[in-house]
Structure 1
């Protein structure tokens, strides 16, 4: 990459936009190297040399070495990495699920390294703060998560701007955290303007915007504003079918949510009209024993019971068991 920079500089001059763009890319690679070298060491120490995250970080570091012309250093990493990967890569995929405490042991020191090396307001540091907050949330430590995410949002607006996609994601994350601790009105105060900005910046049919419509619908439901939730979620389902297709997992999830809204206002016939075909599609797309399919069987049983269809309900519960 340095050779490319030198050639570009000679051909176009120091002040040419293309030269400046290449210089920025080179700088970003060196910034990444400063972070990834200590990251590999921390990962090896905390998670072990055979942990999947450690292997991924060694691979990333090798790529950085290659980008700056340190091919021998890259090879010294990649040759033993290949041997290790062949032995343990498949098994490690399963062992990673739900190991949030292990992730925290890495993310906490990593954030400190990022602050020290890159600075507290560097975009990579902001991403590390967000990652750590998510880990806290996954581990049930919502207050710790909030203590990170509230100041993070202010920093993100300052560094990246109010309409940057990363800032929008952080607004959504903070709203979710408020919801997790029962602060629904504060979540709404974030999510209502967020949806307007998302439509403006990303477009009405962007998957990110669709997710924010769904989140806002959920929030209205949580505070008992069921009519407003329905006003969002009925058209959302039609857009989701159009954009994602009818059998996409995201569309299935929105069908299930809309059925819940109908149930909340006592429209049980409408619920059944959604949930009966939804169950068949879920069996086809996800399989009969997928957790989401089993959940939908149970939901349909609940609806049947609500309408006093005891025979059907009993059959459904028997199938879940």
Structure 2
């Protein structure tokens, strides 16, 4: 057998373990001979011919037992942290460079065959982790074949041309259709959900076989809820831009980005649900451990793991009741097999508490989380502090959600002490707990203490994340709000201007967040009586809103209406000029008896014609025709016809017909007939 493409030290994995043969290699330049025991001596086909090169890509699966043995040797040479990309660049390509062939072309033919499983993974995933999840899933199928891209596709053409070959796209879809199922391998950080190749492979799997053809392989899924809703095919990345462009073009021409993103989410949920149901059915057929003296391979534990996975996926999809059901099943199974005080059982109980919180059952969740803390105190292991920290954080969050601020404050102070021991003083989780402590303090009215903690958080975030990080500017905003409540408006203004400057630099001048920051600053300026400056900034906001949001957007309309009311407010608060001196009044004359003059008529209803502006005083009845702008004071009655724009004060009663735009302040009563458009501020 031609072996010159195989590096020294990598021979043994290529020996067929099923022939029970021993081999010795005598090397002389490019001449190699195999010495077999007499009973196993058989002619081995040469790899020099074209037969192996012509093997269809759909037949290039690798035997699982061989793959796992090869992976161990690769790990010894490259280390446990080597990624799949490292294995390809540092082993696969060097081993095949001289022949410009696929790696399967230098593997013994008996270990190559039609794949039952297609491995979908990201090259940034640790290769050892990939092999671990494959070994876990296929532990009972050592002679099955899996399709692994770095071995089944000629990687030398990527090295030469640096771009995807057009035929590889069709090859991948063909392999996906032919394989029994696709094993979607999620890495530790969930990057698989952000890579165009992985989403492309899920798409073709679901397209050919439905969600039944997709299996999720992962045993660390706590990141999933944060990533699930961010799945967006149009934003998926690839190592090569040419790959991304070509695949996106195919998706756009077929199903579209939005629909594919939705289909992928549904497929992930259905896949996890189906796996859990199958595992539960299998567990019901067995009692106790399946093999050995320990229950680690019990079908019940396998079912518990599948239920935990299904719960995480359901939680990510915001199907909280389903997540709670699976968490409860996992807890029951772990309790029966492992006992109540086993760390896995406690972890399942902790998940049950989280699911109850997600369903709004806070009191039930509190009871479960207190039980978790009590059990964790009994278990002593290297991860005891870490587990206790998670349990305390979950309970503190629950107390905060129930507005039990005093208990939450006490719990968060304990959490911070444990954070310093487990994570260190600058860990993001500690910063998050400090922010929650601020909420607990503010809830009790301890805003001075809350301000002090906020300043500590801001200092940490500036140091760890940088001054222009979104979390840092968000904390500056929160501190400014707290300062305003404590009547420290000038200091708050300084912070708000810093936030506006930092966000403008980071996001650009036309980002919607810039508009919101400007509005916050405007409210503070008005609170300080700086009306002229507030009016100037409001004009900037209006200009941005028209440009970014559009002239018909409710926020734009509200800003326009508030600007119309700003000038009268300024006049009312402006210092009054001294009244001119009047001549002394003449002596009063005796009035004659009153004649029968008609009484002074009541104020006539103000009727605004098209494109007119009407201001009604207290007690006035105002009717605005189409196109009229009506500003109302307290106590008046307003009827707006179609197309009328109405701004009202507290206590006003407004009836708007179809097409009326109404902006109401606090206390406004607005009975609106079918069809009107009502825009109400937070007040």
Deviations 1:179-231 (A, max 9, x none): 11111111122122222232233222222222222222221111111121122
Match of 2:494 in 1: 273
Match of 2:370 in 1: 150
CA distance in 2, matches of 1:197, 1:81: 43
Matched, 1:211 2:312: no
Once the two structures are TM-superposed, the CA of residue 155 in structure 1 deviates from its matched residue by 1.3
Query: Which of 127, 136, 145 is 1:64 aligned to?
Result: 136
Matched, 1:85 2:202: yes
Match of 1:252 in 2: 473
CA distance in 2, matches of 1:215, 1:134: 17
Contact 2:334 2:345 in 1 (8 A): yes
Which gives a bigger RCO, structure 1 or 2 (Cα 8 Å, sep 6+)?
A: 1
Contact 1:301 1:317 in 2 (8 A): no
Change over 3 Å in CA distance of 1:84–1:215 after alignment to 2: same
Q: What is the RMSD computed on CA atoms of the aligned residues?
A: 3.8
Contact 2:385 2:418 in 1 (8 A): no
CA distance in 1, matches of 2:367, 2:518: 39
CA distance in 2, matches of 1:132, 1:295: 38
- Secondary structure of 2:426's partner? coil
Q: Structure 2: give runs of 5+ residues left out of the alignment.
A: 1-67, 70-130, 148-178, 184-199, 207-259, 267-315, 546-554, 557-683
Once the two structures are TM-superposed, the CA of residue 170 in structure 1 deviates from its matched residue by 1.6
Q: Normalized against structure 1, the TM-score is what?
A: 0.66
Once the two structures are TM-superposed, the CA of residue 245 in structure 1 deviates from its matched residue by 1.7
Deviations 1:270-290 (A, max 9, x none): 222222332454466568667
CA distance in 1, matches of 2:322, 2:507: 30
Alignment of 1:18-97 (within 5 A): 62-66=134-138, 68=139, 70-72=141-143, 79-82=180-183, 85-87=202-204, 90-92=261-263, 97=317
Change over 3 Å in CA distance of 1:266–1:132 after alignment to 2: same
Question: Which protein has the bigger helix share?
Answer: 1
Q: Structure 1: give runs of 5+ residues left out of the alignment.
A: 5-58
Match of 1:113 in 2: 333
Q: Normalized against structure 2, the TM-score is what?
A: 0.34
Change over 3 Å in CA distance of 1:163–1:229 after alignment to 2: farther
Change over 3 Å in CA distance of 1:106–1:197 after alignment to 2: closer
Match of 1:227 in 2: 448
Query: Which of 527, 531, 535 is 1:311 aligned to?
Result: 535
CA distance in 2, matches of 1:214, 1:295: 22
Q: Structure 1 residues 255-264 or 310-319, which shifts more?
A: 310-319
Deviations 1:26-76 (A, max 9, x none): xxxxxxxxxxxxxxxxxxxxxxxxxxxxxxxxx99645135x574357959
Of structures 1 and 2, the larger Rg is shown by 2
Matched, 1:174 2:245: no
Match of 2:404 in 1: 183
Deviations 1:70-93 (A, max 9, x none): 4357959x8512598234584356
Question: Which protein has the bigger strand share?
Answer: 2
Q: Structure 1 residues 104-113 or 306-315, which shifts more?
A: 306-315
Contact 1:217 1:233 in 2 (8 A): yes
Deviations 1:83-119 (A, max 9, x none): 9823458435666553333433433323323323333
Contact 1:298 1:316 in 2 (8 A): no
